Structures are given as structure tokens and as C-alpha cells.
Amino acid sequence: MSPLQNKTDLEHLLALQKDNESALQHFFNLYYPSLVYFAFDITKDIAVAEEISSDAFLKLWHKRDQFFKVNSLKAYLYRIVKNASIDFNRVNKVALKNEQGYQYLAEPTEIAIEEKIIAAETYALVLAALETMPAGYQRVFRGIYLEGKSYEELAREMDTNTVNIRNQKFKAILFLRKKVPFTILLTLYFI
């Protein structure tokens, strides 16, 4: 699975260098949600997080001929979003301080930033895994692992018996092991 996936990502990168807009869309679909999550984690403002993330892709488009590794492209996007989010907080310090429900947001340390990237990337991977699963497996997987429900509870909710739930869970795990190309990003380091 992964070599093929790598190739397509790399092919998209080459297409991007040649002004291909659908290649930009490919990377947008891949990274936009985790970038928005990351920016929101810093700014606590969803509209701003979306704007900052979208602008990062605009900047990427301007520099589209300068990326030769998918990882540098991703790191570039995170860096732009990080800087813009911190800038936003600097300018809006007072506003955030006054708004009910928020405390003054201190400037995040490098370690905090790294933790926020880890969170955004982790959840992007979990979501990608969930979204490739058929609906029935998804329900069981979410129920058992994410919502902490028992087999009995789920069986009652889904109007079936616990044996079926057990089977569905097993299939869901097999499905994830086979289908989810977690190695995509990692093997790329060595290209």
C-alpha cells in the first residue's frame, strides 16, 4: 500500500511545481483540517484559525516551485500557521483578556508548540482511520474505544447481540491494520 501512496503524494508535489492547481487541492484536503485544529489550539478563534490556515496555502502556492520533499512542504505549512497564530495572539492580547471565558493567552513555548502539532497530527490520523472504515465498524469502534461503552450497551443500542458486536470489533481492527496507510508519511523521510 504505502509505496504506491508515496508515489502519488510525490507525483502531486511534482505536479504542484508545474502550476497544477488540483495538486494544491490534494494537499489542502490532506492538511487543512489538522492545520485549522492547530491554529485554533493557539488562537482559540475558529474564524481566525481558518483564515490563517487558508493563507498558508496561498503562500505555499506562491512558492510552489520550491518544494522537493512532501515533508518540507508540510513543515512549511505548520511553520507559517504557527507564526501567524502567535502574531495574532500578540496583537489581540487585550481583546482575549477581556472576553468572558478566556484567560490571557501566554505565548506558547517551543515545547508547547510541538505538543500542539503532535495533537493535531494524532487526531488527523485517527480521523483518517475512522473515515476509511465502513459505517457499521465505525460505530462499534467509536463505541468501544472512544466512548468506553460495553459490548452489552452497544448491542442494546444497535439492536443486536454481543456476539455480533464482538465480530464487528474484530473486523474493524483487521480492517484498520490492512487498509490504513500509516506508513505513508514515515517512509517519505528517506526519499
Partner 1 sequence: MNYPFQETEERAQRIAYLVAGFINKTLTTKEHDELDLWLEENDENVELFSRLTDERNVNYAMAFMKGIDKESAYEKLRSKIFAEKKQRRWLLPVSIAAIFLIAFSIDWLVKTKPVVSTLPTPDIATTSDVPPGSSKAVLQLANGKTIALGKDSHGTIAKEENIAIAADNQTLVYSGQTSSNAAVFNTLTVPKGGKYKLVLSDGSQVWLNAASSIKYPVAFNGPERSVVIEGEAFFDVTKDDQHPFIVQTNSASIQVLGTSFNVSSYLDEPLATAVLVTGKIKVIAAGKQQELAPGEQATIATTGDMKLSTANIKVATAWKDDQFVFKDAPIEQIMRQLSRWYNVTVVYKGTVNYHFFAAISRDEPLSKVLQLLEQTKHVHFTLHSDTIEVSD
Min CB(98)–partner 1 separation in Å:
6
Residue 52 · residue 42 · CB < 8 Å: no
Binders in 78-137 for partner 1, by CB under 8 A: 78-79, 82, 92, 94-95, 98-102, 110-111, 113-115, 117-127, 129-130
Q: How many residues bind partner 1, per CB under 8 A?
A: 73
Distances (CA, A) of 1 to 48, 103, 129, 175: 37, 46, 14, 13
CA distances from 19 to 11, 12, 51 (A): 13, 11, 23
Nearer to partner 1, 7 or 179 (CB): 179
Q: Which is nearer to partner 1, 3 or 170 (CB)?
A: 170
Tell me the C-alpha distance between 155 and 158, whole Å.
Answer: 5
Length of the chain: 191
Identity of the residue numbered 69: K
Among candidates 118, 32, 191, which has minimal Cα distance to 24?
32
User: How far apart are CB 137 and partner 1 at their closest, in Å?
Assistant: 12
Quick one: which of 90, 157, 167, 191 contacts partner 1 (CB under 8 A)? 157
**Could you say which of 67, 89, 137, 140 contacts partner 1 (CB under 8 A)?**
67
**CB within 8 A of 155, min separation 6: which ones?**
161, 162, 164, 165
Among 18, 47, 106, 109, binds partner 1 (CB under 8 A): 47
Nearest to partner 1 of 4, 95 (CB atom): 95
Residue at grid coordinates 481558518: 50
Give the shortest CB-4-to-partner 1 separation in angstroms: 19
Q: How far is the CB of 127 from partner 1 (least distance, A)?
A: 5
Q: Which of 2, 20, 59, 76 binds partner 1 (CB under 8 A)?
A: 76
Q: Which helix (H) or strand (E) holds 102?
A: none
181 lies in the binding site for partner 1 (CB under 8 A) = no
